[in-house]
Chain A
């Protein structure tokens, strides 16, 4: 006899399995979820843009035969010694402490071989990274952990960090598991404590103070070094304009997909704007001030390929910066450690408990045994390869658009696949000559 048809169990979209699991976790532990990385939610991104390529109205350049330049100079506004890079992609700031010493060394090796710069992070400059980075940007952060004038003078550029895409308005976090004796010593902290870095600088607030702070840094270093100002993707038009007003040589703009060593998941997923939404307002601020290409714009947050790089450049950036992608190139979240990721309750590609210091790949850890797993020379070569591939991909696209320098890419080379991306990038929706907000007359 036939059964009465039953109603299929239906999961709620609002109260999904993931949401319910988080409610149960919060109820059991009484603490918010902390993790590393950037926003995991789907937001409009470079995937939502396409290049048009050449056509009758414009001709392409011959791949591999006709030159397509990639060099970029950062810090041309005031610095006596601007930074010249062979490729328009840099390695973003990541701290020793959140990363192991060998990982910092690998980043320096890879960046140097590819002809670009790497960046310190919260916690100061290590010999590993200074020794292996031909061009090293020294971050000047609210915590001032490890900050000293000797390292300031031996840096190639200084980056005043105001904000970070993963957590605009938030400070750093490094939990006790990673505060080893060496990390604690560099930060003047007790070993093993849960370290919270300040969210704003201790000796200045606002753009007028920032201008004086930049003056001080220039006076200390004899006006030799480019001074970058890094902002999170909060109010990109005004933040860029104020950074320029304060005297920045370079603005580094980090969207919400940009990673962090550790912070609250609620911060990562709910504060800040997508990278795609930030670029055009920042470029407009530079254009309105007559400073586009005079003050260079470096964009980061979810850059994964030469296509992403080409799209960011076409929207007006001078260079891009990578963090998470660089870590993956080193070996982070590699499926060959799948069994160990499973033992940690996760899977390769999803591992983000970087703050716990148990990274099977030996990158986001201070555990001496795990650290040994990363060979800095081999990892550095992987990073160099990846940077080279990104550059080749970007050149491939640029040539197809008829550009002899990747900086000649422009918004006119792009179209958007979605209304949201069209609105954010201010390029036409594919098949139209219109984007939301474009004047009709």
Chain B
């Protein structure tokens, strides 16, 4: 298994090696040692490659990931897996702000907690957070699923579009146009699949579902107080 040690290898060379491996379609497995909180590790991967990061990272780890699997054995800084298209990103520790921001697809599996604005503007990504999430999470979330085994902070799902939010614990407050919705059988099945994929120890029946009331989809001056 090739090892890229960031004590001796520059970020540019690390990412170039991973890009080459991804393009090679050989499904190789790489290890990154001594990340020391570096930014933009394993970004823009575009093919089947598996990367294990032994330690914590800075901003935008696995940004714009496509197809690849990135496993961080530590915590991550802001914007992990931002704009991810497909593949899987696993974080053993906690995630800072904007985890999974604008992601279009794939699974972001955070085994710790996630800070504020988790899933902001998400566009199809699935995010499972085993711990709790901070305020303004799923702000303007458009598509995809956010699953939280712990609690959610203030203003969950503010100005939500069609993303689905599932929370097992408490929700401090809901944002504008976000409401609790009934868990229908299709939601239970979807949630069961997500929990299984994320290896989460929880049952779908324990969760509540939240979604858009769709009252802000067309501008109406009578809604001005909500903005």
Contact = CB atoms under 8 A, between A and B. Distances in A.
Contacts of B63: 216, 220
Contacts of A150: 46, 66
Nearest to B78: A203
B179 interface: no
Interface string B185-207: 00000000000000000000000
A221 B15 CA distance: 10
A221 B63 CA distance: 12
Interface stretch (B28-36, B116-124, B165-173): B116-124
Given A31-B219, A198-B140, A188 B40 contact: no
A152 B102 CA distance: 15
Contacts of A213: 59-60
A194 B25 CA distance: 42
A222 B23 CA distance: 13
The range of chain A's interface size is 20 to 34
B210 interface: no
Nearest to B82: A203
B192 to A, nearest CB: 25
Contact of B44 (A143, A204, A219): A219
Interface in B39-61: 39-40, 43-44, 46, 58-60
Nearest to B142: A188
A215 interface: yes
B164 interface: no
B208 interface: no
Interface in A14-33: 29-31
B184 interface: no
A216 B161 contact: no
A215 B102 contact: no
A148 B221 contact: no
A20 to B, nearest CB: 21
A144 B123 contact: yes
Given A149-B64, A202-B102, A219-B40, A143 B217 contact: no
B72 interface: no
A189 B40 contact: no
Given A149-B83, A222-B19, A209 B104 contact: no
Given A144-B83, A147-B83, A176 B142 contact: no
A215 B39 contact: yes
B11 interface: yes
Choose among B60, B140, B162, B218 the residue with the greatest number of A CB atoms under 10 Å from its CB.
B60
Interface of A: 29-31, 143-144, 147-150, 152-153, 175-176, 188-190, 193-194, 198, 202-204, 209, 212-213, 215-216, 219-223
Given A193-B217, A202-B121, 6 more contacts: A144-B83, A147-B83, A149-B85, A152-B64, A190-B161, A216-B39
Top 5 closest pairs, chain A to chain B, by CB: A220-B44, A30-B221, A203-B79, A203-B98, A144-B102
